[in-house]
Structure 1
Amino acid sequence: MSSLRHEFYETDERLTISVFDKGADPAQVSVKFQPRSLIYQNGEKQLVLEPLKGTIDPEKSEYTVGKVKIEIRLHKIVLGRWGALVGDSPDVLANIPAPAAPTPTAATTKARERKNWDGITNTILEKDKPLTSDEDPNVGGDATVNEFFQKIFSDSDEDTKRAMLKSYVESGGTTLSTNWEEVKKAPVEVKPPEGSEWKKWAA
């Protein structure tokens, strides 16, 4: 069984091995990953690397088969440079203690008893939702008032429309009358709100 020429380069996160096996058939190539070893197999050709200098994650390690070489990418468990492919170094996974079950504390107990804030928020928002003009004719401000007068104007006859326009324009927006018989007799006086003074704008 013959070995294969290979070389590698690495970053802190990954080590990439190039195995020079020209014309390898992807269907015949297999790479077995273990935390501290890898085995490359192609028919009678084999490359075994163990123990690896560091520990890898077999699930995240991968390879691709090219025409000239096979590229194997090892995903390191611990960030850092190995400096060599194989060598006796401690298995970092063996030194990691199993996580102890967390002791319940006041904070975790409190978290379990946490209120359903989404439900409470929705309830408050429903209560604070503004009333519509159908529910309360006093809500809506100017927008509702404008809609109200627009409806009156669109539903009115020509005399009423003339009265509304004339009274509104001549009074500077302080009076709105629908009585054409009264409005047509004379200019409509300006009637500012109580406590305010009407001033003509000068260009």
Structure 2
Amino acid sequence: MTTPRHEFYETDEKLTLSIFDKGADPTAVNINFEPRKFTYTHGDKTLVLEPLKGQIDADASDFTVGKVKVEVRLIKRAQGRWGALTGDAPDPLSSTPLPQQTSAPTSGTRKPHKNWDGITTSILSSEKEKTTDQDPNVGGDSTLNGFFQKIFADADEDTKRAMMKSYSESGGTTLSTNWDEVGKGKVEVKPPQGSEWKQWG
């Protein structure tokens, strides 16, 4: 058994431990977090830190396995600098109840925060995106406008006149491409079902 080279730096909230184990296999790395003990094993390499200088939050602590080193983040239960990884200093938390949240005072317990943007993005990216040709409603109003602009651009003069006249005279409630019908007279306002048209001004 060999002890891998390691070093650390810390803030008041956490201690970051770098274990230099080049080419470590993430599936073979075994790390165990306990309130006053940390254990790392990988092949014939072992690192045991006990007792830790202060108490850690075993559930909140985590690690990442990189190509050159394994980076471990030990989240401190009480704010403050340790100055060393291990030590027999009396644990100020051993006889006191553990606080819910040390970084910010909150009333009651904090509810886990959901990343709605991330969830929405993952749902949208998992669905196959449609083009405006398949569904004119894709992308909201701007794409819908693009769809109508495409029809307008490809249309003949009579169709363009019908579209402009029907849209403006109906207050935006009707869009017709039939000049024979629209050219006969004023286009009536057709509000959506269940709503009432009122003239403003």
TM-score (norm 1): 0.47
Structure (1 or 2) with the greater helix fraction: 1
| TM-score of the two chains, using structure 2 as the length reference | 0.47
